[in-house]
């Protein structure tokens, strides 16, 4: 079996839309140049397409045209390294995932401890949002909720008040035992995020559940978020307008 046949055999095992790099093929490093040439020939023939330099996928064609890989596949190398999570999809992805909007523009936002300049991959512009908490597989779902609260004014095709109502429903379904854990994560977010999360927690759980967040806030600071009392009856308790 020559190098081209070997590569073709490996690629045949990948599902359509799966993004891979040279290292995923298991070829001998001595054959790197031949591997690159073989992959580029496959791109030219239409068997493969590129997401970015050195990252390929098998395109899937439907009656509506060629499908792009899903967002996770496009950026998975920016989310995990050596089996350790280093980032997560947030921003517009989180808005959509949590049911706050149906819009999903060609922007992928990634939460990471160390951010980098925006990059372009195919149709997607990839930007980075700094996350001050250590990122783990266990806390990502909660970091997304806090990110959404932080970015609440930027959720497309909805209002802040509608978003609050949906977030209250999401927070209400969080196990009570996890709330104090999320409170500790929230402390590393801006004061307006803490105040809004604390107000929702206070309404959906026992009043003292949010005390830790309250003590982290300056008692005289006001937060202008455009939230009505009908949506959040205790806004004044948290200096939210």
pLDDT tens digits, 37-50: 899 999 999 899 99
pLDDT value at residue 1: 65
* Domain ranges (residues) in the chain: 3-62, 159-241
Tens of pLDDT, residue by residue over 90-124, are 999 999 999 999 999 999 999 999 999 999 998 89
Going by pLDDT thresholds of 50, 70 and 90, the confidence category of residue 231 is very high
Query: What does residue 14 show for φ and ψ, rounded to 5 degrees?
Result: -80, 145
pLDDT beyond 70 at 5 = yes
In terms of C-beta density within 10 A (0-12 exposed, 13-18 middle, 19 or more buried), how is residue 211 classed? Answer: middle
**Cβ atoms of 163 and 228 closer than 8 Å:** no
What is the 8-class DSSP label of residue 124?
A: E
CATH class entry, domain 3-62: mainly alpha
Q: What percent of the chain has pLDDT over 90?
A: 79
Tens digits of per-residue pLDDT, 159-212?
999 999 999 999 999 999 999 999 999 999 999 999 999 999 999 998 789 999
Q: What percent of the chain has pLDDT over 70?
A: 100
Q: Please, which contacts does 186-193 make with residues 24 or more away whose CB atoms are closer than 8 Å?
A: 186/146, 186/213, 187/212, 187/213, 187/216, 188/132, 188/133, 189/132, 189/146, 189/149, 189/150, 190/150, 191/216, 191/217, 191/218, 191/221, 191/223, 192/150, 192/223, 192/225, 193/146, 193/149, 193/150
Task: Specify the 3-state DSSP secondary structure of 149.
Answer: helix
- Which residues make Cβ contacts (< 8 Å) with residue 120, sequence separation at least 6? 126
For the segment 78-91, the average pLDDT, to the nearest whole number, is: 95
Q: What is the pLDDT of residue 195?
A: 97
Q: Note the pLDDT of residue 134.
A: 97
Which residue matches tokens 């929702």? 200
Residue-averaged pLDDT of the chain = 93
Give the predicted TM-score (pTM) of the model.
0.90
- Residue 66: the pLDDT is 80
């Amino acid at each position: 079996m020559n190098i081209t046949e070997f590569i073709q055999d490996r690629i045949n095992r990948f599902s359509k839309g799966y993004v891979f790099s040279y290292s995923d093929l298991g070829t001998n490093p001595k054959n790197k140049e031949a591997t690159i040439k073989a992959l580029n020939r496959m791109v030219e023939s239409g068997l493969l397409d590129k997401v970015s330099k050195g990252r390929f996928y098998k395109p899937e064609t439907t009656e509506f045209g060629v499908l792009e890989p899903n967002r996770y596949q496009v950026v998975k190398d920016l989310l995990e390294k050596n089996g350790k999570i280093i980032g997560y999809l947030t921003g517009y992805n989180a808005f959509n995932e949590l049911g706050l909007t149906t819009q999903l523009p060609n922007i992928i936002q990634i939460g990471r401890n160390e951010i980098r300049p925006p990059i372009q991959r195919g149709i997607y512009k990839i930007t980075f949002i700094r996350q001050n908490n250590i990122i783990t597989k266990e806390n990502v779902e909660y970091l997304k909720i806090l990110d959404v609260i932080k970015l609440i004014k930027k959720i497309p095709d909805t209002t802040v008040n509608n978003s609050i109502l949906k977030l209250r429903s999401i927070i209400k379904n969080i196990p009570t035992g996890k709330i104090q854990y999320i409170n500790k994560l929230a402390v590393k977010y801006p004061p307006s995020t803490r105040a809004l999360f604390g107000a929702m927690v206070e309404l959906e759980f026992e009043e003292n559940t949010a005390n830790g967040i309250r003590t982290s806030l300056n008692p005289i600071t006001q937060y202008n978020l455009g939230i009505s009392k009908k949506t959040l009856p205790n806004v004044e308790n948290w200096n939210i307008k």
